[in-house]
Amino acid sequence: MFNFLSGFMSLFADLVGSIADLLEPLFHASATAAAIVLFTACVRLLVHPLSRASARGQKARARLNPQIAELRKKHSKNPEKLQKAVLELHRAEKVSPLSGCLPSLFQLPAFFLLYHLFSSSSIGGEANALLGHELFAAPLGGRWADALGDGGVFGAQGLVYLALFAIVAAVATFNFRRTKTQMAAGASASGGTDAQQVPGMGAITKVMPYMSFMTLFTVAFVPLAAALYVVTSTTWSAVERAVLYRDVPIGAGALATAG
């Protein structure tokens, strides 16, 4: 198993290096960083069909709101029967209330590949040459703590992280406002039944608007290469959702905002 993983990581390192070689005439010393952004875009394109399916699922959920409202009136004094009835309705209509989580779950392997690749000093028994590549002045294998120790917040490396933090904060604020608006409208439209559809959903919906800001901590603590993946992916997600959910009734796409 170890030999298999080592060989797989070597192939992945070669892939990243080959993409970087192709991009070097355009991006020069930052070609490997550009390769990671391009790799992220390719992963997002592969996951896009799941995102489209998730959007269709959210539209289907929106169409069920009138029926859910009727079920809530019918079982207003019996929450257990209400939950069971709503789940049966979803099952009959082939709608999953958690379908919006699938795109995020399918991206995790790509993130961990980059994390491992740029956290390992050696790949396939040889020194990991990718660790020496940089995004401007910041090594792709370095972390924010390293940047703070080499020039501080406003040093050459620190400025790279400040730029990433600014992008993440802007995207997170956009997602926060959108999610709060959707969930407030969704709760009003469904009479609060969304939180009763799946056990534990109520707790999830309370913290969901703040989940985008957790990306700031991820960017601060993972290797810069993995942080680039996160920043690119979350920015892609924000744009993708704005397009896919443009005709979805407000409140219907709340779960998908965590993707």
Side-chain-side CA neighbours of 179 within 13 Å: the count stands at 23
Question: Which of 1-10, 70-79, 118-127, 184-193 has the weakest average pLDDT?
Answer: 184-193
Query: Is the separation of the CB atoms in 19 and 38 below 8 Å?
Result: yes
Treating both helix axes as pointing N-terminal to C-terminal, what angle do 102-117 and 31-63 enclose, rounded to 10 degrees? 160
Q: How many CB atoms lie within 10 A of CB 72?
A: 18
**Distance between CA atoms of 111 and 153, rounded to whole angstroms?**
26
What's residue 87's pLDDT? 78
**Distance between CA atoms of 213 and 216, rounded to whole angstroms?**
6
Tokens for 162?
Answer: 């400040």
What's residue 97's pLDDT? 59
**pLDDT tens per residue across span 185-197:** 555 554 554 444 4
Beta bridge partners of 127: 122
- Confidence check: pLDDT of 1 > 90: no
- Confidence check: pLDDT of 247 > 80: no
**pLDDT tens per residue across span 35-86:** 999 999 999 999 998 888 877 777 777 777 777 778 778 777 777 877 887 7
